[in-house]
């Protein structure tokens, strides 16, 4: 069998990317609006910590843009996931279904609750959870009892599914929701990567009982660090705000707290950056789609590798643009990574699958053959909005 011509792939990337940059990062923030103005206002007024008008504005703007009822801003996406799990009642010893193909924060948030990550497979058309395969798997291991869905093999209850919208591409939410209903599972959306992505015309985050967002420096928009919890449920949103503010009871001066909780609130100065970023989100998304279209066009002509495009039902944000090697050429992935990085084009593989990490290697899992194949073939390529 012949080998891929890696230089042809390198040259294709060079044709799309700016020639004047000697080193091109994977995904860098794009500051084109009122970031300096809003941060200066925080400094001038001294409202820099966890209360202030920018926190309120950021939360209301997020809720409006995504179409949910409430948004609660927190310090990062992992904290958002941690609180999401607690809001739906995940307890120590519960199992939570998560894709093995995800960033480690998804599994860590489950572990923070004393719960058990249970790893499930992905599908190549979305890079996210395969609902049909998952349903068949649960048919073989799950038993519905009065208290909920029980894993017959472990004796533990399976409480929830975390659906990760991988690299910004929505999973098949309708099919996954049906699985959740059939097996009495609560759906959480890990939308850390999918701000600006739509499933059948609705923004991601509208199917899960709660949803987590991330605003890390490499996300679609950034607050430096930062995250948010989305929900349609006012009572859950109020509880989320209470839990992320050390469960402090309102009072003019007294420090009274009614439960063990967390100091997870997003500072006003970070929210100020987020407000400015949100104002320019349509322009950022438009630029990213234009970049993705250039990649799709040029890689259409290259044998043995394809540019991953959004599922038919989705309008994706193309957070991280993705090349997918044909299975026959998976062995050349690392050679391509080395070549592109040597030429100043930052590329990277997918995350190491969760079940391969030492702390998670003995946790329950289904057959993960598709995730294992995808891990060996995925290459993320430069995706910053300013590259077009």
Q: How many residues does the chain have?
A: 388
Q: For residue 1, name the pLDDT band (cuts at 50, 70, 90).
A: low
Q: How far is residue 223's CA from residue 314's CA, in Å, rounded to a whole number?
A: 26
Q: How far is residue 224's CA from residue 211's CA, in Å, rounded to a whole number?
A: 20
pLDDT tens by residue, 31-62: 999 999 999 999 999 999 988 999 999 999 99
Cβ distance 74 to 227 under 8 Å? yes
Q: How far is residue 330's CA from residue 171's CA, in Å, rounded to a whole number?
A: 24
Cβ distance 77 to 46 under 8 Å? no
pLDDT at 8: 97
Check whether domain 35-279 has CATH 3.40.640.10, yes or no: yes
Check whether domain 6-30+281-387 has CATH 3.90.1150.10, yes or no: yes
Q: Where in the chain is the domain with CATH 3.40.640.10?
A: 35-279
Task: Find where tokens 């990760």 sit.
Answer: 164
pLDDT tens by residue, 243-262: 999 999 999 999 999 999 99
pLDDT tens by residue, 109-118: 999 999 999 9
pLDDT tens by residue, 53-106: 999 999 999 999 999 999 999 999 999 999 999 999 999 999 999 999 999 999
| Paired residues of 202 in beta bridges | 199
Mean of pLDDT over the chain: 97
Q: How far is residue 202's CA from residue 205's CA, in Å, rounded to a whole number?
A: 9
Q: Where in the chain is the domain with CATH 3.90.1150.10?
A: 6-30+281-387
């Amino acid at each position: 069998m012949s080998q891929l011509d890696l230089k042809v792939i390198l040259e294709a990337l060079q044709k799309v990317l700016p020639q004047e940059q000697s080193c091109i990062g994977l995904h860098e923030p794009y500051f084109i609006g009122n970031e300096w103005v809003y941060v200066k206002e925080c400094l001038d007024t001294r409202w820099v910590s966890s209360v202030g008008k920018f926190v309120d504005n950021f939360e209301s703007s997020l809720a409006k843009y995504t179409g949910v009822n409430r948004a609660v801003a927190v310090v990062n996406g992992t904290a958002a996931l941690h609180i999401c799990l607690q809001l739906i009642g995940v307890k120590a010893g519960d199992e939570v279904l998560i894709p093995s193909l995800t960033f480690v924060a998804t599994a860590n948030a489950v572990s923070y609750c004393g719960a058990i990550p249970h790893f499930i497979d992905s599908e190549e058309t979305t890079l996210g959870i395969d609902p049909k395969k998952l349903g068949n798997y649960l048919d073989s291991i799950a038993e519905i009892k009065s208290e909920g869905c029980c894993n017959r093999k472990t004796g533990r209850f399976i409480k929830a599914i975390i659906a990760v919208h991988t690299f910004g591409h929505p999973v098949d939410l309708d099919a996954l929701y049906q699985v959740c209903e059939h097996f009495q599972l609560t759906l959480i959306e890990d939308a850390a990567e999918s701000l600006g992505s739509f499933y059948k015309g609705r923004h991601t985050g509208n199917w899960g009982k709660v949803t987590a967002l991330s605003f890390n420096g490499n996300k679609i928009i950034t607050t430096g660090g930062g995250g948010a919890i989305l929900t349609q449920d006012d009572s859950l949103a109020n509880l989320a705000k209470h839990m992320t503010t050390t469960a402090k009871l309102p009072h003019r001066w007294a420090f009274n707290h009614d439960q063990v909780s967390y100091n997870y609130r997003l500072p006003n100065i970070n929210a100020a950056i987020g407000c400015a970023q949100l104002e320019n989100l349509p322009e950022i998304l438009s630029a990213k789609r234009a970049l993705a279209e250039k990649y799709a066009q040029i890689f259409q002509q290259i044998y043995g590798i394809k540019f991953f495009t959004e599922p038919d039902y989705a309008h994706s944000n193309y957070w991280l643009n993705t090349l997918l090697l044909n299975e026959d050429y998976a062995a050349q992935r690392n050679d391509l990574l080395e070549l592109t990085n040597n030429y100043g084009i930052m590329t990277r593989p997918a995350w190491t699958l969760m079940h391969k990490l030492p702390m998670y290697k003995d946790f329950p899992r289904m057959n993960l053959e598709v995730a294992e194949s995808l891990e060996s073939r995925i290459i993320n390529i430069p995706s910053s909005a300013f590259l077009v």
